[in-house]
Amino acid sequence: MAALKQRSSSKIASTIFLVLIGVLIALPLVGAAEFSLREGGRSKHSFHAYIWIFQQEDFLINASTTLEIALVAVVVTFFLMVPTVAWLHIYGKRYLKFVEILTVLPLIFPVVALATGAALALPAWLQSTKYVLSMMYVVLAMPFTFRALDIGMRGVQLEVLVAAGRSLGASWRSIILRIITPVILPSIFAALFLTVALSLGEFTLAQLLHWTTFPTWVAVAAQGNILGATALSVGSLLTAWILLFSFTFFDRKTSRTQEDE
Amino acid sequence: MAKDLTLDQSLLEAEETGARNRTGFSGLGLKKVSPLFPLIIFISVFFFWPIGAVLINAFKDNDGSFTWANYQLLFQEPYNKAFYNSIKLGLISALTGAIPGALIAVAIQQRGSVRLKKLISSISGVLANTGGVPLAFMFLAAFGPEGLATLACKAIGLDIYGLGFTLFSFWGLVIIYTYFQIPIMVIVFTPALESLRREWRDAAYNLGASNFQYWLRVGIPLLTPSFVASFLLLFASGFSAFATARAMTVGNISLVPLIIGTLLDGNVTVNQFNLGYALAMGMIVVALLAMIPYLLIQSRTSKWQR
Amino acid sequence: MTSNTLELRGISRRFGNVRALDNFNLSLGVGELVALLGPSGCGKTTALRIVAGLEREDAGQVLLGNRDITNVPAHQRNMGMVFQAYSLFPNLTVEENVAFGLQMRKVEKHKRVKKAHELLNLVGLDSQSKRFPHQLSGGQQQRVALARALAFEPEVLLLDEPLSALDAQVRSNLREEIRRLQLSLGTTTLFVTHDQEEAMAISDRVGVMSHGKLEQIASPDTLYNKPATPFVAGFVGTMNRISTTLNSGRVNLFGKSIATIAKEDLTGEVIALVRPESVSVKTSTSNPNATVITRSFLGANSQLTCRTNDGFIVQALMGSHESGELHPGSMVTLEITSEEVLVSHV
């Protein structure tokens, strides 16, 4: 009993601390949410600010632009990263460390510097399509997508499964369809989800390479309408949370280990 | 018969080592790693090329010959001030993010509730990636003259505007940056806390250490490298941030990302090319000074974090 | 601090709906090495951690000598504990690890370094004193952990499956070393393990546990030859379970009538429990009653798995030199050599 007396008193302290911090962190959020629901002053509240962005002329154009860019980024990530990481695990384990370091590099270098180099050095023909952003986003997402795929494949020991499949006489087509893909599907989803999340919210590269995407357009459109801008911000935050929760819910269904105290 | 056998054998060998043609590329065995080519080519075009261009061209002048001139520019007004501000912003926001963040992570870890951890992890994940523009607008709304946060402060007797507070200042920026630095810290520092094995705490107690002594002699020494590494990561993050700064400043604070932004916004003349490269290179150098120790510490501490 | 007696009185502990310990009683004499043996989840580790103060009990008392230490916090209990693995502090050298307990007791530096070296010598690792834990092998780390636990001369030594994470060869060497140290220092020791061979090999007494209760506690000999319950009989060593009929206190096995020991009043269909070494195998006979299925060479002995003509699987142990001729398919005659067999209900 006495051995744990400390625990309960520090538990109270940590609870108070966490609640305090929680309040401080929630304050801007709640304040912004409240502000965004206002209609003409503090007394009236409605959702009219939230509808505002949908009523903007350019909403559809820019939203679809960003979606297209995100889609291309996802497709490129899928066809580039999945086979590569799979090959590394099955045949090229000794090159894993090298590639891991390679994919971490985008994290080390500031995006602004990367944007500068891209804007000034990449040829005009390359920069003339908005999908150049997709390619850059694939690079920006690489540290995370590689990690997601790597951990997933490591967890199931993909190379062992493939070797077992081969020894049982499966063709490569069978192996890819029946063994590799189903088993690492959660990791693939994680990687693609990360890519989408990054693409939808990315501002810096799009701005510096002079492309109008949803985020950059919002920044401009919202300048004149603080209410709408706030609604957008709160809305995007909530959307991100909903997406994240639904993703983790899906993830839980496919993961096996339940670690409880 | 014997001949057929040897042929089969060598085919099998070739399949196993993944090298179908050893004579390609003058025996360098490059065909072996050819599956890696797509990735390497892709990264080269969309990453190494831009970055390489920055690093190389920063030291070239208009004729293409080597020069220190661009580099020296960085130490002159107004660019040295910009670097000073950016570095200051990075350091301070790293501090205001690292300390509360570490305390939050410890508080959560000590409670041991898996549900709480997952909740905080989701919240942190979203807040950490809430950069830029949405964050700026949120703060403007909440801390505006009519904002809820301002009124809440008034309620406890703090008239922040009366005291000269404005978000459009260096310290306003620090406050906003802290908002995403804290979640980043929670995310990055928690693995270090989780790597503190229960056995060490149990063994320490068993050997006669009080809670305080355990933290003093075992806990904190083990956590310090990770704390430093996380701090460095936060610094790099605060130093390099662009979107929020752009949304918040009306030209009154000089920061390196903003200068680059202005530069690239206009029609860039040849001379400004050099300036752009130099500034970007400066950013890379500062960021690397933080990130390389970060990576080194992370790989070193993973030895006992297995 | 010299060694002391240890007693657990009426300890109970639940985790949610599971009763980890149910009115558990255990008593250790000074210098005794008692093992708590049982499958995962039987409560042995919980009992140990309650003794150490790292876990709290719902009811009951822990007594050290005559002192009730139930409410004494873990860091004041003066017991040395060795964990399964990874318990050495990674940021301290081997020497600093071993001296840690003394450092907490405010022993001055040169004295505790001296004592640390003394103990490292006892476990043969003095040369590694300046190294860090991650530079040592698993077996070496456990020996350092042992030295660390004993450095401050605790009244009781607690071992939580210290050998489970080690290779077989290292395991048997280290368990001998633990016993040797424990005997020479005379420290009362409580040793938790799921490996019955380990427990039987070095303990003064072994307590077999199941579902939070002590099934039997006795010397290894008694446990092996006179198991009190079917669980103990099955858990300790190998045991044949042969269906047979009980009539007036006797059973008929392989044509021989044998007396029985039963825990309860049984008649009719029962299971006879027979050790492999009590089954004799005769090779050249006229009336074979079993066929050999497999023969496992275990060194001095060989284990034969046979199928009787009635269809039961029986394991017999015989000297390897006698079993040389036998192979799968050989016809043999089995016979029970013991004078009594334990029987349990079906």
| C24 bridge partner residues | C11
Tell me which of A139-148, A159-168, A248-257, B254-263 is least confident. Answer: A248-257
Neighbours of chain B (3+ CB pairs under 8 A): A, C
Same domain as C65, residue C208:
yes
Confidence of residue A250 (pLDDT cuts 50, 70, 90): low
Omega before residue A143 within 30° of 0, cis: no
* CATH number, domain with residue C99: 3.40.50.300
Separation of alpha carbons C127 and B112, rounded Å: 40
| Distances, alpha carbon A36 to alpha carbons A39, A53, A228, B226, in Å | 8, 12, 7, 39
Within a domain: residue C243?
Answer: yes
Contacts of B207 in chain C (CB under 8 A): 75, 80, 100-101, 104, 148-149, 152
Q: Is B78 on the interface with A (CB under 8 A)?
A: no
Same domain as C263, residue C194:
no
| pLDDT score of C66 | 86
A66-210 domain in CATH 3.40.1710.10?
no
Contacts of C56 in chain A (CB under 8 A): 1, 3-4
Does the structure show a pLDDT above 80 at A251? no
Which residue type, as a one-letter code, is found at position B161?
Y
The beta-carbon neighbor of A31 closest among B50, B142, B256 is B142
Contacts of C73 in chain B (CB under 8 A): 205
Q: Is C72–A1 a contact, with Cβ atoms under 8 angstroms apart? A: no
Confidence of residue B270 (pLDDT cuts 50, 70, 90): low
Tell me which of C181, C208, C232 is where a domain ends.
Answer: C232
Contacts of C73 in chain A (CB under 8 A): 2-3, 5-6
Count structural domains, chain C: 2
Q: Which residue has the tokens 């069978």?
A: A174
A187-245 residue pLDDT tens? 898 888 888 888 888 889 999 998 998 888 888 877 777 777 788 778 877 887 787 77
Q: B134 vs chain A: nearest CA distance in angstroms? A: 4
**A129, two tokens:** 């399509």
Q: A198 vs chain B: nearest CA distance in angstroms? A: 9
Highest averaged pLDDT of the listed ranges A91-95, A256-260, B159-163, C9-13: C9-13
Same domain as C284, residue C211:
no
Q: Is A2–C54 a contact, with Cβ atoms under 8 angstroms apart? A: no
C158-187 residue pLDDT tens? 999 999 999 988 999 999 999 999 999 999
Domain residue spans of chain B: 78-140+177-301
The pair phi, psi for residue C62, each rounded to 5°, is -120, 130
Does the structure show a pLDDT above 90 at A258? no
Q: Is A244–B100 a contact, with Cβ atoms under 8 angstroms apart? A: no
Q: Is B287–A81 a contact, with Cβ atoms under 8 angstroms apart? A: no
Closest CA to B97 of B228, B185, B169, B190: B185
Q: Which long-range contacts (CB under 8 A, 24 or more apart) does B83-87 make?
A: B83/B256, B83/B282, B83/B286, B85/B170, B85/B253, B85/B254, B85/B255, B85/B256, B86/B239, B86/B255, B86/B256, B86/B257, B86/B286, B87/B239, B87/B286
| pLDDT score of C338 | 86
pTM over 0.95: no
Contacts of B35 in chain A (CB under 8 A): 83-84, 87, 91-92
B147 against A212, higher pLDDT: A212
Tell me which of B120-124, B197-201, C54-58 is least confident. Answer: B120-124
Output DSSP code: residue A210: T
Contacts of C75 in chain B (CB under 8 A): 204-210
The beta-carbon neighbor of C104 closest among B200, B202, B208 is B208
Within a domain: residue C261?
Answer: yes
Q: Is C74–A3 a contact, with Cβ atoms under 8 angstroms apart? A: yes
Tell me which of C232, C248, C272 is where a domain ends.
Answer: C232
Q: What is the pLDDT along chain C (346 residues), one digit of tens a residue?
A: 578 899 999 999 998 888 899 999 999 999 999 999 999 889 999 999 999 999 999 999 999 998 999 999 998 999 999 999 889 999 999 999 999 999 999 999 999 999 999 999 999 999 999 999 999 999 999 999 999 999 999 999 999 999 999 998 899 999 999 999 999 999 999 999 999 999 999 999 999 999 999 999 999 999 998 888 888 988 888 889 888 888 888 888 888 888 888 777 777 888 888 999 999 888 877 888 899 999 999 889 999 999 998 888 999 998 888 887 888 888 888 989 988 888 887 7
Contacts of C147 in chain B (CB under 8 A): none
Cβ atoms within 10 Å, residue B243: 25
A41-100 residues touching B, CB cutoff 8 A: 42, 80-81, 83-84, 87-88, 91-92, 95, 99
Cβ-Cβ contacts under 8 Å between B and C: the total is: 76
Separation of alpha carbons A137 and A144, rounded Å: 11
Q: Is A112–B292 a contact, with Cβ atoms under 8 angstroms apart? A: no
Does the structure show a pLDDT above 80 at A43? no
Q: Is B35–A84 a contact, with Cβ atoms under 8 angstroms apart? A: yes
Hey, which CATH number is domain B78-140+177-301, 1.10.3720.10, 3.40.50.720, 3.30.530.20, 1.25.50.20?
Answer: 1.10.3720.10
Nearest residue on chain C to A5, judged by CA atoms?
C73
Q: Is A104 on the interface with B (CB under 8 A)?
A: yes
Output DSSP code: residue C276: G
Same domain as C203, residue C133:
yes
CB proximity list for A112: less than 8 A, separation 6 or greater: A204, A208, B240, B242, B256, B257, B260, B261, B280, B283
Q: What is the mean pLDDT of residues B214-234?
A: 93
DSSP string over C302-341: EEEEEEETTS-EEEEEEEHHHHTT--TT-EEEEEE--SEE
A230-259 residues touching B, CB cutoff 8 A: 230, 232-234, 236-237, 240-241, 244-245, 248, 259
Same domain as C252, residue C221:
no
B85-124 residues touching C, CB cutoff 8 A: none
| pLDDT score of B134 | 83
When scoring B194, B207, B215, B305 by the number of chain C Cβ atoms within 10 A, the one with the most, hence best to mutate, is: B207
Cβ-Cβ contacts under 8 Å between A and B: the total is: 246
Contacts of C74 in chain B (CB under 8 A): 202, 205-206
Tell me which of C232, C266, C286 is where a domain ends.
Answer: C232
Full domain range(s) for residue C339: 238-345
| pLDDT score of C1 | 54
Nearest residue on chain C to B215, judged by CA atoms?
C89
Same domain as C30, residue C175:
yes
Q: Is A22 on the interface with B (CB under 8 A)?
A: no
Within a domain: residue C79?
Answer: yes
Nearest residue on chain B to A227, judged by CA atoms?
B141
Same domain as C170, residue C67:
yes
Task: Tell me what percent of the residues of chain B surpass a pLDDT of 70.
Answer: 84
B167-192 residue pLDDT tens? 788 888 999 999 889 999 998 899 88
The beta-carbon neighbor of A4 closest among C56, C70, C72 is C56
Sheet with C156-160, edge to edge strand ranges: C79-82, C156-160, C188-193, C33-37, C205-210, C213-218
Within a domain: residue C1?
Answer: no
A141-180 residues touching B, CB cutoff 8 A: 142
| pLDDT score of B2 | 43
The beta-carbon neighbor of A248 closest among B122, B130, B205 is B122
Q: C57 vs chain A: nearest CA distance in angstroms? A: 8
Q: What is the mean pLDDT of residues B116-120?
A: 80
* CATH number, domain with residue C299: 2.40.50.100
Q: Is A1 on the interface with C (CB under 8 A)?
A: yes
Q: Is B228 on the interface with A (CB under 8 A)?
A: no
Separation of alpha carbons B69 and C89, rounded Å: 53
Separation of alpha carbons C10 and C319, rounded Å: 46
Separation of alpha carbons A79 and B38, rounded Å: 10
Contact A162, A90 (CB under 8 A): yes
A136-157 residue pLDDT tens? 999 999 998 999 899 888 888 8
Q: Is C321 on the interface with B (CB under 8 A)?
A: no
Q: What is the mean pLDDT of residues B30-50?
A: 89
Assembly ipTM: 0.83
Separation of alpha carbons B177 and B234, rounded Å: 10
